[in-house]
């Protein structure tokens, strides 16, 4: 059996085992890199670990550490209350405020923006009798709309990977295409569901009712264990109700340094182009020096599971490249003879796998497989990458994906089963039409260039 085929089989086993047994795929990636690199390619440890992305590791740790301060001390809730005041208390506009907030947060590097905004948004929807499914969808689409900004985890990951493989990054199109795509989907959802009553928690009027993510669901709910597991793996817990100061929209003395730090991070990266990893780590250290207890609490918010996922998968991808697997698979795809058809197949594969696993993991794998395919010039690089980003993330409302699980974890227990079924239905629809629609994003630039 050839080394290339062994690498592909191991990659498939990683996805199967990771999904079936709920094991972090990054850990599997490290083991696979050692196994294939050491036993098949006869590499030394320093060789099969050479692909570990140190710069991306620092970025992930720094971003999630910094936003841990903002999440713990109520700065996020404060911003939400400022937004409520901004719209003059108009309840009908609040779903779009939550959409925008989630988009802005994730675009600035808050990888788990859904976990930050979802408890606030769903609580607001219950109190004001808004359609909770509609509000939840707008939160997730907001996250996907801002997920590929040049300073977000997704954007940095893809742009750096393209640059390292000799392809020209297109950060503007990568950011704008998913933004427009998800805004349109959110608009359709809002128009269709805004006047429907939606799901209502039977215990809403009971002050002693359990919090959205805390009560046990009814018997037979497969969703509960899934969303609870996903939430615990990300190291995130459902937020409690905002403090009195946050409800009144007042900035406390302890929140001022965090707010200044977030503004400084955005300005230093966007205007001066400083490295986001070192900037966020430096600001976080300053905040920790100011308040050591807050620093310790924020460190517990670092998304180690995602850090392991991304670094482990990329480490194994580097071994794949050394083995020649990427060129071997790409040659098979190119043999189809119709580049756009090959792209369509890759997009549907990305969407289906992403609905059950990590979007970042499948994006990394598909880009690695497509690098030689893109170098041929038969498909527009910017269009292909933007379309892949859409195809792999538009299904993230699935309760088996990270964003979907974090949303479901904050749904009131009395409606969670029905909410889960609606999420499954919507995710299925996205798997059916999302990659196909995204394909046009890749196809149109290619047709124009041709």
Per-residue pLDDT tens digits for 180-193? 999 999 999 999 99
Distance CA 70, CA 75 (A): 5
| Confidence band for 1, pLDDT divided at 50, 70 and 90 | confident
The pLDDT assigned to 199 comes to 66
The pLDDT assigned to 43 comes to 95
Q: Where are the beta strands (DSSP E) in 118-259?
A: none
Residue with tokens 């599997």: 28
Residue 14, SS3 per DSSP = helix
**Assigned token pair, 97:** 């405020």
Asked which of 217-221, 233-237, 297-301 is least confident by mean pLDDT, the reply is 217-221
Short-list 75, 106, 140, 69, CA closest to 302: 69
The pLDDT assigned to 207 comes to 41
**In total, how many domains does the chain have?**
1
The pLDDT assigned to 285 comes to 96
- Mean pLDDT throughout 394-421? 80
Residue 145: pLDDT over 80: yes
Asked which of 113-122, 380-389, 423-432 is least confident by mean pLDDT, the reply is 113-122
Distance CA 279, CA 269 (A): 8
DSSP structural state of residue 38: I
Is the distance from CB of 417 to CB of 218 less than 8 angstroms? Answer: yes
Residues 6+ apart with CB under 8 A from 276: 59, 62, 63, 109, 151, 156, 265, 269
Short-list 305, 365, 299, CA closest to 329: 365
CA atoms within 13 A on the CB side of 177: 26
Asked which of 10-24, 138-152, 321-335 is least confident by mean pLDDT, the reply is 321-335
Domain that holds residue 329: 3-449
Distance CA 143, CA 139 (A): 6
Residue 148: pLDDT over 50: yes
The pLDDT assigned to 100 comes to 93
Asked which of 1-10, 299-308, 387-396 is least confident by mean pLDDT, the reply is 299-308
Residue 440: pLDDT over 60: yes
| Confidence band for 301, pLDDT divided at 50, 70 and 90 | confident
User: What would the DSSP string read from start to end of 381-428?
Assistant: HHHHHHHHHHHHHTTTTSTTSHHHHHHHTTS-TTTHHHHHHHHHHHHH
* CA angle centred on 306, ends 264 and 50, rounded to 5°: 95
* CA angle centred on 416, ends 148 and 412, rounded to 5°: 90
Asked which of 58-67, 112-121, 173-182, 421-430 is least confident by mean pLDDT, the reply is 112-121
- Mean pLDDT throughout 15-20? 83
Mean residue pLDDT across the chain: 80
DSSP structural state of residue 378: S
Other C-beta atoms closer than 10 Å to the C-beta of 255 total 19
The pLDDT assigned to 218 comes to 34
Residue 170: pLDDT over 50: yes
> Bigger pLDDT: 142 or 355?
142
Short-list 346, 236, 357, CA closest to 302: 236
% of the chain residues with pLDDT over 90: 27
421-434 residues labelled b (16+ CB within 10 A) or e (exposed): ebbbebbeebbeeb
| Confidence band for 405, pLDDT divided at 50, 70 and 90 | confident
DSSP structural state of residue 269: H
pTM recorded for the entire structure: 0.68
Report CA dihedral (348, 354, 357, 362) to the nearest 10 degrees: 80
**Assigned token pair, 374:** 């893109």
Per-residue pLDDT tens digits for 232-272? 333 333 343 445 555 556 788 889 999 999 889 878 876 77
| CA dihedral sign of residues 358, 359, 365, 366 | positive
Is the distance from CB of 67 to CB of 109 less than 8 angstroms? Answer: yes
């Amino acid at each position: 059996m050839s080394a290339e085929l062994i690498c592909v089989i191991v990659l498939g086993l990683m996805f199967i085992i990771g999904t079936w047994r709920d094991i972090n795929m990054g850990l599997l990636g490290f083991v696979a890199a050692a196994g294939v690199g050491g036993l098949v390619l006869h590499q030394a440890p320093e060789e099969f670990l050479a692909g570990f992305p140190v710069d991306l590791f620092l970025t992930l740790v720094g971003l999630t550490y910094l936003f841990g301060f903002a999440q713990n001390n109520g700065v996020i809730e404060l911003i939400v209350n400022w937004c409520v005041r901004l719209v003059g208390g108009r309840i009908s506009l609040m779903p779009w405020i939550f959409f925008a907030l989630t988009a802005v947060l994730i675009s600035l590097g808050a990888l788990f923006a859904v976990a930050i905004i979802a408890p606030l948004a769903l609580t607001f929807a219950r109190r004001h009798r808004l359609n909770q499914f509609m509000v939840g969808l707008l939160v997730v689409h907001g996250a996907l709309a801002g997920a590929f900004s040049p300073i977000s985890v997704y954007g940095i990951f893809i742009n750096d990977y393209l640059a390292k493989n000799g392809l020209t990054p297109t950060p503007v199109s990568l950011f704008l295409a998913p933004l427009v795509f998800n805004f349109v989907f959110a608009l359709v959802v809002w128009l269709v569901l805004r006047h429907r009553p939606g799901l209502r928690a039977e215990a809403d009027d009971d002050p002693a009712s359990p919090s959205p993510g805390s009560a046990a669901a009814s018997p037979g709910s497969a969703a509960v264990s899934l969303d609870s597991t996903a939430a615990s793996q990300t190291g995130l817990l459902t937020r409690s109700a905002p403090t009195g100061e946050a409800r009144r929209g007042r900035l406390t003395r302890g929140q001022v340094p965090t707010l200044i730090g977030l503004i400084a991070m955005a300005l230093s990266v966007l205007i001066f182009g400083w490295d986001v990893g070192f900037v966020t780590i430096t600001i976080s250290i300053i905040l920790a020096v100011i308040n050591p207890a807050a620093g310790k609490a924020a460190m517990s918010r670092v998304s180690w599971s995602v850090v392991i996922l991304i670094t482990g998968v990329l480490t194994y991808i580097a071994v794949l490249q050394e083995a020649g697997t990427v060129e071997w698979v790409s040659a098979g795809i190119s043999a189809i003879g119709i580049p756009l058809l090959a792209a369509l197949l890759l997009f549907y594969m990305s969407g289906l796998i992403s609905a059950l696993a990590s979007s970042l993991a499948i994006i990394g794998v598909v880009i690695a497989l497509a690098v030689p395919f893109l170098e041929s010039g038969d498909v527009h690089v910017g269009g292909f990458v933007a379309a892949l980003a859409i195809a792999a993330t538009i299904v993230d409302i699935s309760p088996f994906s990270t964003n979907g699980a974090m949303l479901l974890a904050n749904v009131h227990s009395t409606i969670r089963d029905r909410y889960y079924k609606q999420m499954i239905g919507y995710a299925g629809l996205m798997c059916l039409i999302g990659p196909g629609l995204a394909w046009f994003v890749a196809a149109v630039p290619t047709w124009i260039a041709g």
